[in-house]
Chain A
């Protein structure tokens, strides 16, 4: 298994540009999520999905869209990039095994800079 893969690893955007961060997992996990990590603020949940066709907002969803057309893929779209979206973005996935969410597997991250 490749686990959770993210592309690209690094990206520089100009203000107002749009782009899609890709995330894929090959573990047949139901749950997938996107976090952003900023210094001194830990990880904040942007959007998450508990299965194909189902998405929901996390703590900081504004400026981002997601879709979950397949179990494997969970792309994150930046509609009109802003400097405040400069961050490291992590995708994670896990099984949903009843009461406890199974271990979340994290991708290697995408470092995004918006100028």
Chain B
């Protein structure tokens, strides 16, 4: 299959941790990305991980990669109302072309 899969919706309370999951299919993927899209705006790169890494942490964001299961997750600690957005994972399947395959996006709703 060609798909990158994400669950469509996640709701958390302010201050809790959010975990957004993604599965991909191409074992030769080189880089995996997380993008954020706020309402009415384009996509903004949050973070990325190289396929030979298991984990990457960047302030409140932690990315975990299980290459064996082709599973990627994004954990947002201390989730704030400003984190409400759609989050897309994307995989880069071939080097040097910039082509990305996106998941369907997970809408994160943060309740005060």
Contacts and interface: CB of A to CB of B under 8 A. Distances in A.
Interface of A: 4, 31, 33, 35, 40-45, 48, 50, 58-59, 90, 92, 94, 96, 98-101, 103-104, 106-109
A58 B59 CA distance: 34
A106 B43 contact: yes
Interface of B: 2, 4, 6, 8, 30-31, 41-45, 48, 50, 88, 90, 92, 95-105
B40 to A, nearest CB: 8
Contacts of A45: 99-101
A106 B96 contact: no
Given A50-B97, A100-B95, A101-B31, 15 more contacts: A35-B102, A42-B4, A94-B98, A98-B96, A99-B30, A100-B92, A101-B98, A101-B99, A104-B43, A104-B45, A104-B98, A106-B42, A106-B43, A108-B41, A109-B42
17 contacts: A4-B42, A31-B97, A35-B102, A40-B8, A42-B102, A42-B103, A42-B104, A50-B97, A58-B99, A92-B43, A98-B95, A98-B96, A99-B95, A100-B30, A100-B48, A100-B92, A109-B41
Contacts of B95: 98-100
A92 B90 CA distance: 14
B98 A33 contact: yes
A108 B90 CA distance: 19
Contacts of A44: 102
A42 B31 contact: no
